Amino acid sequence: MITRPFLHRAALLAAGFAFSLSLHAHPAAEAMTAAANKFLATLKPEQKEKAHYADLKADARQAWHFIPTEMVTFGRKGLPMTEMTEDQRKLALAMLQSAMSEHGYEKATSIMGLESVLRELEKNGKVDRNPIKYFVSIYGKPDAKGTWAWRFEGHHMSLSFTIVDGKEIAAVPSFMGTNPAEVREGPKKGLRVLGVEEDLGRELVKSLSAEQRVVGVYDKTAPKDIITGADRVAKRLEPDGIAYAKLNDAQKQLLKKIVAEYANRVRPDVAKSDLAKVDKAGWDKVAFAWAGGLERGEGHYYRVQGPTFLLEYDNTQNNANHVHAVWRDFTNDFGEDLLKKHYEQAHKK
């Protein structure tokens, strides 16, 4: 028989355990903080002036883009790796590695490597293709139990991370792109950095019945780019497409695989929280929409939307060999929702 004193002691132990957990920072916050501080410690004053913004609310934090630096009219923010020493570059990449999954980090560094491929393809092009022309910017004071943010950005990559009270992480917006989407000549021939995203989307749309395609394929022509672009706030797009509830079991699993492929760019403990948020909002409210051709080499676009998130994929440029793929959160891009709660709690104290 379980006695009342035993239950009382068990409750106290459980409460104590929960309290002790609340005192510890999220493992991702600890890893990113350690990597950021190690990086900052090596910077000269003139480097730190570019890399480190003391104010988390700096406008630069949401001034993001994925186009080549020469085309960014407002000027790309942060310290470029081209102005770092070799050791500093390694520490900048260690920061990126601290936030990404092994799979996601491999994608990120492969995207950087594609700049060398473009340099060979374009020869003396107007844009400087450089695999280390990527920028690091840090906002606020990196603290394992504090609130701060940082971004890693350059051509075809913009990865933003916001850490709130050392407990919660927002890893959005998360943009990755590739040009070429498939390397067709040279030492890297056959490389498709974002090939899984393309293949899963096509597999799903081709599995749709004629009746399902009436709803799921909304246009025969794909848009020329992701529709949200580099907007600071992502808004829901119309039409929704075909709802998860209208898919068969195999199609539902494909849709979940697509979402997981985007979410799993980041480290598993952060991705798990992102996917749990999707689960909580309800898969029956998630929808898939496709536009464009169904075969490889034809321009195509798809998106997946739920109550909380939007992911977009577009492959139309360069004869459908140029991918843009983004994960957005309707309320929590740049940690906006988490920060709102953080400031509300601070005002109550």
25 pLDDT band, cuts 50/70/90, is confident
pLDDT, residue 8, reads 52
Residue 126: pLDDT over 90:
no
**Mean pLDDT (whole number) for 229-244:** 97
State pLDDT tens for residues 38-52.
999 999 999 999 999
CB-CB contact of 137 with 153 (8 Å): yes
Q: Residue 149's pLDDT is what?
A: 99
Confidence at residue 196, expressed as pLDDT on a 0 to 100 scale: 99
- pLDDT at residue number 283: 98
Chain center to CA of 58: 21
- Give the pairing of strands 79-80 and 287-292: unpaired
pLDDT at site 18? 40
What is the C-alpha to C-alpha distance for residues 264 and 11, in angstroms, rounded to an integer?
36
Query: What is the maximum alpha-carbon separation in the chain?
Result: 82
* pLDDT > 50? residue 236: yes
Confidence of residue 14 (pLDDT cuts 50, 70, 90): very low
Q: Average per-residue pLDDT in the chain?
A: 94
What are the tens digits of pLDDT across the range 310-321? Answer: 999 999 999 999
With pLDDT > 70 as the criterion, what percentage of the chain qualifies? 93
Handedness of CA 324, 325, 330, 334 (dihedral sign): negative
Contact 330, 236 (CB under 8 A): yes
Mean pLDDT, rounded, for 213-223: 98
Give the pLDDT score at 344.
83
Amino acid (one-letter) located at 81: M
**Comparing 11-25, 208-222, 298-312, which segment has the lowest mean pLDDT?**
11-25
The interaxial angle of helices 102-122 and 86-99, nearest 10 deg, is: 130
pLDDT tens per residue across span 238-297: 999 999 999 999 999 999 999 999 999 999 999 999 999 999 999 999 999 999 999 999
User: How many residues belong to the chain?
Assistant: 349
What are the angstrom distances between the C-alpha of 197 and each of 2, 136, 187, 229, 257? 53, 26, 23, 18, 9
Q: What is the C-alpha separation between 195 and 188, in angstroms, rounded?
A: 14
From the CB of residue 223, how many other CB atoms can be counted at a distance below 10 Å?
15
Confidence of residue 21 (pLDDT cuts 50, 70, 90): very low
The pLDDT score that the predictor gives to residue 6 is 44
pLDDT at 84: 99
Q: Looking at residues 91-96, what average pLDDT do you find? A: 99
| Non-local CB neighbours of 103 within 8 Å, separated by 6+ positions | 264, 265
Whole-number Cα distances in Å, 108 to 177, 335, 339: 9, 21, 27
C-alpha distance across the termini of the chain, in Å: 44
Determine the pLDDT at residue 347: 64
Q: What is the pLDDT of residue 23?
A: 60
Q: Does residue 223 have a cis bond before it (omega within 30 degrees)?
A: no
> Is pLDDT of 3 > 80?
no
How far apart CA 184 and CA 186 sit, in angstroms, is 7
pLDDT in tens, 149-196: 999 999 999 999 999 999 999 999 999 999 999 999 999 999 999 999
- Residue with tokens 């491929």, as numbered in its chain: 117
